[in-house]
Amino acid sequence: MRTKSLKDVTPAITLTLLHPLQSVPVQSWPFETESVIRIGRSTDNHVILYSAVVSRHHVELRRNPNGWEIISLGANGTYMDGKRITQMPVIDGMIIRLASSGPKIQIHINGEMPSARLK
């Protein structure tokens, strides 16, 4: 019998940069096998965003047995619904903002069941 790996039980994830005024998709990055995804200004990140308010290493998304979690690393903070967050579980469809006035990223967990979404 084959043992399930973390990849088998945790869905892939897609990050989408939203337009600053209209909240429509500008660019998307799908990830299938990564267990850590880094977002920031530095070229060693998976998602590179050139904005003065984005730190070199601003956010990490980490896959764990329960799903994904977001960890804010940036000096200017990471926000959800106008509130600063430091670490929290990722919810399918959530939108985070890098710094209080920075880029917005929507997170989709591919294969997530609709009942698991926040209403």
3-state SS, residue 14: strand
Read off the pLDDT band of 23 (50, 70, 90).
confident
Report the pLDDT value the prediction gives residue 8, as an integer from 0 to 100. 52
* pLDDT average, residue stretch 84-99: 96
Report the pLDDT value the prediction gives residue 37, as an integer from 0 to 100. 98
Report the pLDDT value the prediction gives residue 6, as an integer from 0 to 100. 46
Q: Residues of 102-118 as b/e, b for ≥16 C-beta within 10 angstroms?
A: bbbbbbbbeebeeeeee
- Residue 84 contacts residue 101 (beta carbons within 8 Å): no
Rounded to two decimals, what is the model's pTM? Answer: 0.83
Report the pLDDT value the prediction gives residue 38, as an integer from 0 to 100. 98
Read off the pLDDT band of 20 (50, 70, 90).
confident
Architecture of domain 6-104: Sandwich (2.60)
User: What average pLDDT does the chain have?
Assistant: 87
User: Whose structure tokens read 């990849």?
Assistant: 7
